[in-house]
Amino acid sequence: MKVYELRLKIFLLKSIDKKEALERIGEMIDKCLTATDEFRNFHNSNTFKNYTFNSLYKLERDGIYKVGNIYSIKIRTVDEMLAKYFKKNLANEYTEHMKGLTLECNILRKKPIEKIYSITPVIIKTDEGYWKGRLSLESFEKRLRENIIKKYNDYFDTEISEDFELFSRIEFNNQKPIASSYKNVNFLGDKLTLYIAENEIAQNLAYLALGTGVGEINGRGYGFMNYQSFK
């Protein structure tokens, strides 16, 4: 398993509020994916997409990304074919809001991970919406854990034993839910720091999560994580 990290530079054709940035980036990625039958079928399938992305960088103090400026986006995936497809096509893509310029692709070196932490909000949905007040902290942690294990089992076509420690600690880095919009729907999520246990399977799952995202709707840019190695 390898985590591919693609760094895409884009030129902004219209100004974008930070709350809609993930949606606008997703529109360009979707347009790229639907350009061929193979990846259109992949895009429309009800499966783990095994990629995620962060928002525009650099950050703007007023929360508005400016027309005419150049920003960068990180896209990560554990799917080698998808990484190759993006590398070949994404820099040539455009929408009414942004145009691709250049793209570089590297592999994230696997090293012992102390913690992974949110760059974009982690989403865990319930039938009533945001999880707080509807799920206990223990249930929330269980949902996070089960989600990562399902992605691992799906990717490797296996069924690992779940008798192991994954998180040694979870920290919430936001005081109130973080709102983002997608197709006029507000998603509420959290910025998390997940301390990773030192056993082999926990470390493998944490590395996978860097390429797939943590939580739900990662193909819309949620749950994009960075990491810190043991010092």
User: Does residue 175 sit in the same domain as residue 195?
Assistant: yes
Q: What is the pLDDT of residue 13?
A: 97
User: Does residue 75 sit in the same domain as residue 124?
Assistant: no
pTM: 0.92
Domain count along the chain: 2
Last residue of a domain, one of 108, 139, 157: 108
Look up the CATH number of the domain holding residue 47: 3.30.70.1890
Residue 111's alpha-carbon distances to 5, 48, 156, 221, in angstroms, are 15, 25, 20, 24
Q: What is the SS3 assignment for 64?
A: strand
Cis peptide before 58 (omega within 30 of 0): yes
Q: What is the pLDDT of residue 127?
A: 83
User: Does residue 120 sit in the same domain as residue 222?
Assistant: yes
Q: What is the pLDDT of residue 175?
A: 87
Q: What is the pLDDT of residue 184?
A: 76
Q: What is the pLDDT of residue 182?
A: 76
Last residue of a domain, one of 84, 108, 132: 108
User: Does residue 104 sit in the same domain as residue 120?
Assistant: no
> Each residue's pLDDT tens digit in the chain (231 positions)?
999 999 999 999 999 999 899 999 999 999 999 988 888 888 888 788 999 999 999 999 999 999 999 999 999 999 999 999 999 999 999 999 999 999 999 999 999 999 999 999 999 988 888 898 889 999 999 999 999 999 999 999 999 988 899 999 999 999 899 988 777 778 899 999 999 999 999 999 999 999 999 999 999 999 999 999 976
Range of the domain at 165: 113-229
Nearest-10 crossing angle of helices 80-89, 21-33 = 100
Q: What is the pLDDT of residue 86?
A: 94
Q: Are 16 and 65 in contact (CB under 8 A)?
A: yes
User: Does residue 75 sit in the same domain as residue 176?
Assistant: no
User: Does residue 77 sit in the same domain as residue 171?
Assistant: no
Last residue of a domain, one of 78, 108, 138: 108
Q: What is the pLDDT of residue 7?
A: 97
User: Does residue 44 sit in the same domain as residue 151?
Assistant: no
User: Does residue 78 sit in the same domain as residue 122?
Assistant: no
Q: What is the pLDDT of residue 47?
A: 83
Q: What is the SS3 assignment for 109?
A: coil
Look up the CATH number of the domain holding residue 220: 3.30.70.1900
User: Does residue 90 sit in the same domain as residue 190?
Assistant: no
User: Does residue 96 sit in the same domain as residue 161?
Assistant: no
User: Does residue 100 sit in the same domain as residue 125?
Assistant: no
Q: What is the largest CA-CA distance in the chain?
A: 52
User: Does residue 132 sit in the same domain as residue 75?
Assistant: no
